[in-house]
Amino acid sequence: MSQSELQQLVAMLRSTGPDLTAPPAKLRADFTVMVGAAPLASDLIFEPVRLGGVSALACTAPGAREDCCLLYLHGGAFVIGSAQDYRSVFAELGRAAGVKVVAPDYRLAPEHPFPAAVDDALASYRALLERHAPASIVLAGDSAGGGLVTSLLVAARDAGLPLPAGALLLSPWVDLACQGRSMTTKAAADPSITRPGLLANAALYLGRKPADTPLASPLHADLAGLPPMLLQVGTAEILLDDALRLATRAAEANVEVRLSVWPDMPHVWHFFGFMLEEGRRAVAEAGDFLRARLGP
């Protein structure tokens, strides 16, 4: 690891990262400005599409398989973010996995509180099943999107739908009550997110629902029967314990789960592969997992 690259990233996040306690309009604008600095490779092809009635953005990198698809659910605490904002992350994951990616713009809170995001994710997955065999679909998501992927799997299972080949969760947020120990023990180390900020956005998303509602906080869901999962998390983020606890719950439910913990990495460091070697390596690890799940 290059300490200078990491120090530069941490300093940037501390100085320019959005304040999660700000009003949604300002938070969204600040976040779009920050992520707009991430460069995009010139060989990527983006296309707006509709998926189960939900607007989405598709991306194809050179050599992508046509018979498989990655459904990506972006992060943003259920209040901010868009497929456009997260292009640099899901595009490179698709390249690493060798598949086309489609990222739905699920509805955001507070305009559309829970379960709108779950409903849109499930509608998008149903639409993919009309075009692809379940064994040729993989899911991925970061932060709130990682939690949403887990909720989608539970909702799809409960609806009797065939499940995808696997799921990739990047720094997942799966406990909207924010009760993990790392919320406190990693607070000083985390340069980008805070417990008060997460709780503020959780309140906007949950409305009147309790924080332990299983499809909102899938840490409390029955995980039995879910497909193999890879969880990637850094030790410099307050969501460390969300990933640790979810991996334990999945293992207890007899789910094949792999937990990959990256020392000193901040929240969703994959976003910063353009300046951080560990970001590129984590994307490569994720791509290997997705390729293995999809098979030849």
Residues serving a catalytic function are 143, 237, 267
C-alpha closest to that of 73 among 19, 119, 18, 41: 119
283 three-class SS: helix
Phi, psi of 32 (to 5 degrees): -65, -40
Q: Alpha helices, DSSP H only, in the chain? A: 3-16, 24-35, 87-97, 116-129, 144-158, 182-185, 195-206, 240-252, 277-294
CA distance 189 to 194: 10
What distance lies between CA 197 and its chain's CA centroid? 18
270 Cβ contact list (under 8 Å, min separation 6): 89, 92, 93, 142, 170, 232, 279, 282, 283, 286
Q: Specify which residues 54 forms β-bridges with.
A: 51
Per-residue CA distances from 255 to 166, 167, 227, 247, 277 (Å):
11, 11, 7, 9, 31
What distance lies between CA 130 and its chain's CA centroid? 24
Return the residue matching tokens 């409305």: 207
DSSP string, 163-193: P-SEEEEES----TT---THHHHTTTT-SS-
DSSP string, 227-255: PPEEEEEETTSTTHHHHHHHHHHHHHTT-
